[in-house]
Amino acid sequence: KQEVTQIPAALSVPEGENLVLNCSFTDSAIYNLQWFRQDPGKGLTSLLLIQSSQREQTSGRLNASLDKSSGRSTLYIAASQPGDSATYLCAVGSENTGNQFYFGTGTSLTVIP
């Protein structure tokens, strides 16, 4: 079974700082990897999708990388803002189980003004 781990569990940074969130997974037979943002009590908003054949994806201040062989992905947030405060979730689509998504428990980010 695919296991997905996100480190750190919580992170607090001053506004303007660049930061990196980490996601690791145990089975490299993945179909894709998706990063989501979740505000308290709300649904999941898709941030970036990386296909298994890709190395990275960028959207605005966000950049996600994927290293399938080492089972790792990172989400880089540049020039953080208070509005970035949320929980960030990593989801891995597994090839071996019909592209079921396996989730990490998330990183709770607080950006201090």
Partner 1 sequence: DADVTQTPRNRITKTGKRIMLECSQTKGHDRMYWYRQDPGLGLRLIYYSFDVKDINKGEISDGYSVSRQAQAKFSLSLESAIPNQTALYFCATSDFVRGEAFFGQGTRLTVV
Residues that bind partner 1 (CB under 8 A): 4, 31-32, 34, 36, 41-46, 49, 51, 89, 91, 93, 98-101, 103-106
Q: In the bound complex, what is the minimum distance in angstroms from residue 102's beta carbon to partner 1?
A: 8
Q: In the bound complex, what is the minimum distance in angstroms from residue 44's beta carbon to partner 1?
A: 4
Nearer to partner 1, 53 or 69 (CB): 53
Nearer to partner 1, 45 or 81 (CB): 45
HSE-CB of 46 using CA atoms within 13 angstroms = 8
Nearer to partner 1, 71 or 106 (CB): 106
Residue 9 is encoded by which pair of tokens? 């569990």
Q: In the bound complex, what is the minimum distance in angstroms from residue 77's beta carbon to partner 1?
A: 20
Q: In the bound complex, what is the minimum distance in angstroms from residue 16's beta carbon to partner 1?
A: 30
**CA 17/CA 41 separation, integer angstroms:** 26
**CA 68/CA 108 separation, integer angstroms:** 24
Smallest Cα–Cα separation from 65: which of 51, 79, 75, 53? 75
Nearer to partner 1, 17 or 39 (CB): 39
Residue with tokens 């919580």: 10
AA letter at 10: A
